[in-house]
């Protein structure tokens, strides 16, 4: 399907809304100049438009399948992955010592956005590799780094993560996979894992699995979990793939969407692996990978939202139906108020979600570059918001895209339904959005709401400064931020954690609504209230931002009404 890289959006955000400049000003990222930024995003955008977008329908119509124990990938996917690998896009943010570019996460986020919009099924493969690379960089021994990182960064080898087991689901602490010492520094890994994205392929020399397992002396729960790297082929003395390891793909799942991305049940039968990090400290190491992946998954939603919006807009500007209700209209359905409303919602929410993701990436970059605790707290705070709001935006926007197409949206040939089917899983994997919201009102409020207050100080200060020049836009953002601040303070004082959890999802979405207003206001400030961006900001602030009030009211309602309903009541 046609896809156009949103370079204009990236340029606006990285210059004025969530600027790259503070990151470029650090010693760590001083080489990420403005010229480099433009060259990288232009080249990545060209690859996505020309090499990956044509694979979108191929993966859906010709799914990956299992052939005598070997995963056969969709037509063209091998060439697509090679294009990603040869461009260096897998290791954009990786350590240059092992072949990475060492570029900011902000640029990697933009590239992942485009990869997701052009073909989400194939983008999952490098995303898994990126998460594994970061986990190894931060936790693995020098020996493991030297053996695995260069191959993962180059794309010669692929990476996965193996957390979930049939009996455990999101309760990772209930896993049963065992790790037995072999006496030579390696371990025999035995167990079964499910929902493993890109667990195998037919285009890389090797596939390396990060596997959570228990050592013989492990205690129950998450504090008894260790992390191991388990390759499909055991590297020989020269670092090349050697003998086949004792692991296999049992089956591939039959999924609602993402047919081009193989999702496997994996069986480990005494497979050889190596410990990553310290014994019984696997969750800390795995969370390094998962946090990277959570931002990446949020960006997946945004990329699909972009592609769905482009497809819906193209259709609306061509489809003629009924009489135009406005003078000098186009004569197509985009003249109709409700179609215009849907398209404006799609574009405005995509921009808001994209800006939030870039703000999260900026905080990650500045935390890495400066070691400042404030930036670390900001990154931790924004990660669940970026993941949940990005994916919810992808789902809502793709659904609206089907509606804009009308009856043709329900016909598979248009491709509109595929966006909706593909993106739906993003709200589930890498921690469901409910878990993200519980993290936001739980762990992220353990500081009494201090990190949230610091962010809201910036939002209010910016809106306060624009009350004179952009009063119609700045005042509602300031007021919404005040309502959010009051809710944060109330929840921080709420001692009953389950009462917080009862309103966690509305709280997260209300928080995102306010942040979206803040970033739209910054865009309007940059380009003027009468510009296209200013008009889009007006739409968001007038029509979407007011949702924050009802969302935050739900967040403060507590759990009593939920538990007043018995299971029998719910079945009535």
Distance of alpha carbon 501 from alpha carbon 334, whole angstroms: 41
430 catalytic residue (yes or no) = yes
Per-residue three-class SS string for 47-78: HHHHHHCCHHHHHHHCCCEEECCEEECCCCHH
Tokens, residue 263: 């999702």
Query: Which residue(s) pair with 226 in the sheet?
Result: 213
Helix (H) or strand (E) holding 149: helix 142-154
Which of these is catalytic: 137, 392, 399, 430?
430
CA neighbor of 553 nearest in space, from 517, 515, 518, 502: 502
CB contact at 8 A, 168 and 175: yes
Q: Residue 560: how many CB atoms within 10 A of its CB?
A: 9
| Residues 322 and 316: beta-carbon distance below 8 Å | no
Asked if 559 and 496 count as a contact pair (C-beta separation under 8 A), the reply is: yes
Q: What angle do CA 496, 287, 500 make, to 5 degrees?
A: 15
Would you state the structure tokens that stand for residue 70, as one six-digit string? 């070997």
For 496, phi then psi, to 5°, come to: -85, 105
Task: With CA atoms as reference, report the closest residue to 512 among 558, 461, 459, 472.
Answer: 459
Please give the DSSP secondary-structure letter assigned to residue 540: I
- Is the separation of the CB atoms in 381 and 444 below 8 Å? yes
β-strands 247-252, 157-162 pairing: unpaired
Active site residues: 430
């Amino acid at each position: 399907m046609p896809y156009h890289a949103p370079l204009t959006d990236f340029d606006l955000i990285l210059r004025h809304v969530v600027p790259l400049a503070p990151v470029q000003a650090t010693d760590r990222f001083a080489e990420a100049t403005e010229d480099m930024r433009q060259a990288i995003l232009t080249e990545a955008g060209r690859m996505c438009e020309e090499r990956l977008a044509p694979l979108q329908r191929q993966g859906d119509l010709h799914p990956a399948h299992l052939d005598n124990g070997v995963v056969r990938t969709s037509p063209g996917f091998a060439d697509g992955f090679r294009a990603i690998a040869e461009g260096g896009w897998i290791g954009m943010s990786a350590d240059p010592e092992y072949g990475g570019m060492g570029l900011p996460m902000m640029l990697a986020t933009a590239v992942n956005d485009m990869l997701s919009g052009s073909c989400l099924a194939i983008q999952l493969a490098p995303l898994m590799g990126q998460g594994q690379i970061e986990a190894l960089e931060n936790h693995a021994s020098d020996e493991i780094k030297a053996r695995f990182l260069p191959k993962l960064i180059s794309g010669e080898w692929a990476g996965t993560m193996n957390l979930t087991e049939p009996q455990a689901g999101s309760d990772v602490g209930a896993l049963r996979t065992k790790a037995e010492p072999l006496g030579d520094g390696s371990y025999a890994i035995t167990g079964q894992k499910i929902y493993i994205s890109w667990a195998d392929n037919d285009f890389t020399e090797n596939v390396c699995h990060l596997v959570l397992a228990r050592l013989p002396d492990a205690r129950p729960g998450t504090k008894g979990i260790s992390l191991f790297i388990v390759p499909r082929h055991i590297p020989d003395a020269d670092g090349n793939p050697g003998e086949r390891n004792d692991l296999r793909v049992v089956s591939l799942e039959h999924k609602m969407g993402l047919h081009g991305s193989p999702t496997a049940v994996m069986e480990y039968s005494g497979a050889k692996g190596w410990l990553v990090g310290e014994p019984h400290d696997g969750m800390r190491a795995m969370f390094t990978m998962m946090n990277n992946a959570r931002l990446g998954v949020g960006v997946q939603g945004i990329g699909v939202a972009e592609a769905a919006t482009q497809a819906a807009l193209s259709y609306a500007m061509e489809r003629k139906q009924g009489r135009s209700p406005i003078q000098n209209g186009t004569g197509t359905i985009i003249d109709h108020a409700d179609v215009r409303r849907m398209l404006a919602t799609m574009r405005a929410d995509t921009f808001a979600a994209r800006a939030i993701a870039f703000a999260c990436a900026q905080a990650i970059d500045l935390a890495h570059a400066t070691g400042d605790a404030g930036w670390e707290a900001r990154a931790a705070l924004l990660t669940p918001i970026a993941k949940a709001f990005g994916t919810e935006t992808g789902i809502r926007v793709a659904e609206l895209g089907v509606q804009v197409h009308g009856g043709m949206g329900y016909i598979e040939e248009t491709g509109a339904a595929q966006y909706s089917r593909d993106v739906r899983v993003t709200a589930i994997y890498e921690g469901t959005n409910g878990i993200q919201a519980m993290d936001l009102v739980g762990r992220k409020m353990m500081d009494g709401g201090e990190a949230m207050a610091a962010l809201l100080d910036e939002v209010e200060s910016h809106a306060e400064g624009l009350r004179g020049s952009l009063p119609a836009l700045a005042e509602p953002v300031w007021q919404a931020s005040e309502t959010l601040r009051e809710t944060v303070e109330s929840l921080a004082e709420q001692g009953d954690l389950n009462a917080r959890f009862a309103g966690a999802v509305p709280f997260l979405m209300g928080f995102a609504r306010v942040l979206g207003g803040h970033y739209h206001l910054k865009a309007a400030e940059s380009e003027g209230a009468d510009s296209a961006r200013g008009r889009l900001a007006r739409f968001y602030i007038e029509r979407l931002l007011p949702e924050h009030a009802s969302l935050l009211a739900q967040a403060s309602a507590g759990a009593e009404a939920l538990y007043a309903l018995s299971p029998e009541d719910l079945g009535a």
